[in-house]
Amino acid sequence: DTEVTQTPKHLVMGMTNKKSLKCEQHMGHRAMYWYKQKAKKPPELMFVYSYEKLSINESVPSRFSPECPNSSLLNLHLHALQPEDSALYLCASTPRHLFGETQYFGPGTRLLVL
Amino acid sequence: AQSVTQLDSQVPVFEEAPVELRCNYSSSVSVYLFWYVQYPNQGLQLLLKYLSGSTLVKGINGFEAEFNKSQTSFHLRKPSVHISDTAEYFCAVTYNTDKLIFGTGTRLQVFP
């Protein structure tokens, strides 16, 4: 199984809502990543988890809260988002958090904040 | 600052024609280079990568790229494109860190 899955595929939420994005992989990878991608732009790194511990936070606003409950699962909790947070949210994983490893991406969750 | 540049934001080409997508990176002692493809409404998929060894790297779907250290380039090529190659292509690099730095992307549009 070389797949990273993400749910939901699409999400529409109001600025006062709380929602969560889910990412799962069963490749035995021990590093997982959240990226944000705006239209016609490259992905921007948000968070990196290595061995279920947060190792990189790219100065992301606290309205985004990541969680890694186990080695296969990565969540992104959303609260009080702004319309400018509308984007494609991509999850990725690598065997380890090491220089040069291939990142395996999920299909993304397309988020619209109203 | 370490960076990667994709000079062409869009490349239109006819089916069965050759194509080259350009990528340049800022010089560094150690660098790993990647090309990813993103089809509409999908995530990114690795096409190929250069870590070391032969400077000509072959990837999936008939793509190849050449690492040129003197020109700090890693251009992507395909001798004959198909309609199905229409997608966004991202060059990416890591410079002695675990962080992947993406270029701004090149939209390849293949016309019949």
CA distance B80 to B14: 9
Taking CB atoms and an 8 Å limit, are B46 and A43 in contact across chains? no
pLDDT at B57 over 80: yes
Chains A, B: CB pairs < 8 Å = 51
Give the pLDDT confidence of A59-82 residue by residue, as tens digits.
Answer: 899 999 999 999 999 999 999 999
Task: Report the share of chain B in percent with pLDDT over 90.
Answer: 74
DSSP symbol at B79: S
Give the mean pLDDT of B28-40. 88
Q: Which residues on chain B place their C-beta less than 8 Å from a C-beta of chain A?
A: 32, 34, 36, 41-46, 49, 51, 90, 94, 96-100, 102-105
Per-chain mean pLDDT for chain A: 93
DSSP symbol at B83: G
Residues of B in contact with A101 (CB under 8 A): 98
CA-nearest residue of chain A to B39? Answer: A107
Phi, psi of B22 (to 5 degrees): -95, 145
Candidates A4, A105, A109, A112: best to mutate against B (most CBs of B within 10 A) is A105
- pLDDT at residue number B76: 98
Q: Which residues on chain A place their C-beta less than 8 Å from a C-beta of chain B?
A: 4, 6, 40-43, 45, 48, 56, 90, 92, 97-108, 110
Please, which pLDDT band fits residue A1 given cuts at 50, 70 and 90? low
Pairing of strands B10-14, B106-111: parallel
Residues of A in contact with B36 (CB under 8 A): 105
Candidates A102, A109, A110, A112: best to mutate against B (most CBs of B within 10 A) is A102
pLDDT at A102 over 70: yes
pLDDT at B67 over 70: yes
pLDDT at A2 over 70: no
- pLDDT at residue number A86: 97
DSSP symbol at A101: P
For B76: left if phi > 0, alpha if psi spans -120 to 50, otherwise beta; the answer is beta
Specify which of A21-25, B29-33, B97-101 reaches the highest per-range mean pLDDT: A21-25
Residue, of B30 and B44, whose pLDDT is higher: B44
Distance from CA of A3 to the nearest CA of B (A): 11
- pLDDT at residue number B99: 82
CA distance A88 to A112: 9
CA distance B100 to B112: 34
- pLDDT at residue number A63: 95
Taking CB atoms and an 8 Å limit, are A108 and B42 in contact across chains? yes
- pLDDT at residue number A73: 97
Phi, psi of A42 (to 5 degrees): -75, 165
Instruction: Return the exposure string of B10-27: e unless at least 16 CB atoms fall within 10 Å of the residue's CB, then b.
Output: ebebeeeeebebbbbbee
Give the mean pLDDT of A5-34. 95
Task: Report the share of chain A in percent with pLDDT over 70.
Answer: 98
The residues near B56 (Cβ < 8 Å, ≥ 6 apart) are: B64, B65, B66, B67
